[in-house]
Amino acid sequence: MTVILTTSPGFGKYGRAPQKLQELGWELIRCVDTSKPDGGVSDHIARADYMIVGLVPVTTEMLEKATGLKAVLKHGVGVDNIDIPACTARGLPVANTPGANADAVAELAIGMMLCLARNIPAGHASVIAGGWDRKVGTQIGGKVLGIVGLGNIGRSLVRMARGLGMQVIATDPYADKAFAGANQIELVKLDELLSRADYVSLHVFGGAGNASLINAEKLALMKPTACLLNLARGEVVDVDALSTALHESRLGGAAIDAYVSEPPDISHPIFSHPRVVFMPHSGADTLEAVENVGLMNIADIEELMAGGRPRRVLNPEVFGA
C-alpha cells in the first residue's frame, strides 16, 4: 500500500479530495501534533512513500530517516521550508502547487485592507462589549495599492483591487510586462512603491534573499497613514522595526498573516497595538483552495507513480537527461 505522510492539517479533507484518496486506497498519516517540533514526522517518516508538506521544515536530518521516500510535495506554493538541494541530492523530486490558492490569499488581502480601512475588528469588539464606539474610517476606492511580488497571488490581487477602484502600482524584477500593461499597472522600484502607496501588500517568497526586505529604513519611506500587509513569510518583515513604527505613529496600521515562529510569541509589543489585524497564517485556507491544492498534489503523485514527470517539479534534474 502507498503511504502518504502529510504535515498539512487540510490535506485531503475537503471537496473531492477525501473521495479521491479513498478510491486510490492510499494510507494517509497526518503528522500535525503541534506539541512536537516536527509535528510527529520522526515517528512515521521511515514508512512514507510520499510526503506532503505544510509548514513543518523538511531538513537534511529528516530526510536521512526517510529511507523509502520517493518525492516531496508542498501543500501550497512557498517552498522555503523545504531543503531542495538536500532532496535533489537524494534524487527526490520536489513539487508545489502554483496558482491553486492565489484567489484565496488575494481575497484575504482585500479583507485585511477593509478591516484596517473601516476599523472592523475594533467595531466588533465595541458592540459585543456593550459599547457603541463608532469610528470614522476611510474608503479604499481611489487609494494606491502597492503590490510587492507580481506572481499568481499578486496578479489575482490586481484584478480584485482594480474592481474596487484602487490604483495599482507594483514591483517585481520578473514582472509580466504584458499583464502590467493590459491592467494599467505602473511598475516601479521598491522605494518608490513604498513612498507612494496607501496600502503595501507583500507577496514574495521567504528565505535569505528576502529576509528583512521591509526593515526600518524601508518603513521610514512609507506615509504615516499607510498600512502594511504581510501575507508572504514572517522573515520578510523586521517585526521589531514595524512595531516601533506603529507605536511611534509613523505608520497607519498593519495586517499580518505570517510569522517567523508559528504560533508567534504574543508578548511582543506589536500584539498590543490596536491598529494591527492578525490572522493565523490562513491566507490559503478556503474550502475551494485547499481542495484545489490537494487534488494537484494527488495528481502529481499519480503521475510519478506512473513513471511520469509532473510539470510542477522544481528540481527536474533529478530525472536526468
Tell me which residues are annotated as active site: 233, 262, 281
How far apart (Å, rounded) are the C-alpha atoms in residues 191 and 119? 28
For 233, phi and psi rounded to 5 degrees?
A: -135, 150
How far apart (Å, rounded) are the C-alpha atoms in residues 101 and 280? 16
Task: Convert the chain into a string of H (helix), E (strand) and C (coil).
Answer: CCEEEECCCCCCCCCCHHHHHHHHCCEEEECCCCCCCCCCHHHCHHHCCEEEECCCCECHHHHHCCCCCCEEEECCCCCCCECHHHHHHCCCCEECCCCCCHHHHHHHHHHHHHHHHHCHHHHHHHHHCCCCCCCCCCCCCCCEEEEECCCHHHHHHHHHHHHCCCEEEEECCCCCHHHHHHCCCEECCHHHHHHHCCEEEECCCCCHHHCCCECHHHHCCCCCCCEEEECCCHHHECHHHHHHHHHCCCCCEEEECCCCCCCCCCCCHHHHCCCEEECCCCCCCCHHHHHHHHHHHHHHHHHHHCCCCCCCECCHHHHCC
The position carrying cell 499519480 is 302
| Cα atoms in the Cβ-side hemisphere of radius 13 Å centred on 293 | 33
Residues β-bridged to residue 186: 169
Distances (CA, A) of 183 to 159, 168, 186, 213: 8, 9, 9, 26
